[in-house]
């Protein structure tokens, strides 16, 4: 039940922040928050991470992304039920990833593109704009990797102990 609440919280927070951006900004409008470091900038991304396939105008791109996310969500659910008991961080990590994926797929279905608005930069060098869903996916992957590392450290190293054979 807590995992479901976490999933809903990620999706709702993502969608509420995007709704605020959509209602408060014009497309490409930018507001400086921390000079020289952070802006809120309303952008859309028709591609995947870092604009992958954004320039493709073929109709298959939309269905490709929806299919990819659908397959990913099924795999995340399977992974969740297989791994959740292995380490207490696996469940939340996979939930963050799924919540982020759902948040971005809602954008694709509603707007035909993902709404991005978090714009970090130093001088003229901007990190690609992102959103709460992207952040949840990133945090989820990082937590998953840490949990995986911790689980691997628990396993005995048979190679070091097999020198007496």
> pLDDT digit string (tens) for 20-51?
999 999 999 999 999 999 999 999 988 665 55
Q: Name the strands in the sheet holding 114-122, side by side, starting at the edge strand that comes first in the sequence.
A: 30-34, 38-45, 114-122, 125-126
- The reply to whether 134 belongs to the active site is yes
The catalytically annotated residue of 14, 107, 119, 134 is 134
Mean pLDDT of the region 64-80 = 86
Q: Delimit the domains of the chain by residue range.
A: 2-34+47-122+131-154
pLDDT in tens, 98-128: 999 999 999 988 998 899 999 999 988 999 9
- Give the pTM: 0.83
- The reply to whether 14 belongs to the active site is no
Confidence of residue 70 (pLDDT cuts 50, 70, 90): confident
Report whether 144 contacts 90 (CB < 8 A).
Answer: yes
The catalytically annotated residue of 116, 119, 124, 157 is 116
């Amino acid at each position: 039940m807590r995992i479901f609440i976490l999933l809903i919280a990620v999706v709702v927070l993502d969608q509420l922040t995007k709704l605020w951006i959509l209602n408060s900004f014009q497309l490409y409008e930018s507001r400086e928050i921390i000079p020289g470091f952070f802006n809120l900038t309303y952008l859309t991304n028709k591609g995947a991470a870092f604009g992958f396939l954004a320039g493709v105008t073929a109709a298959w791109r939309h269905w490709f992304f929806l299919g990819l996310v659908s397959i990913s969500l099924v795999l995340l659910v399977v992974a969740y039920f297989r791994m959740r008991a292995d380490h207490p961080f696996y469940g939340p990590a996979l939930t963050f990833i799924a919540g982020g994926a759902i948040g971005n797929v809602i954008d694709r279905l509603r707007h035909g593109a993902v709404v991005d608005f978090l714009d970090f930069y130093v001088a003229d060098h901007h990190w690609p704009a992102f959103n709460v869903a992207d952040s949840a996916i990133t945090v989820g992957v990082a937590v998953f990797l840490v949990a995986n590392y911790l689980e691997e450290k628990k396993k005995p190293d048979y190679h070091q102990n097999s020198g007496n054979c």
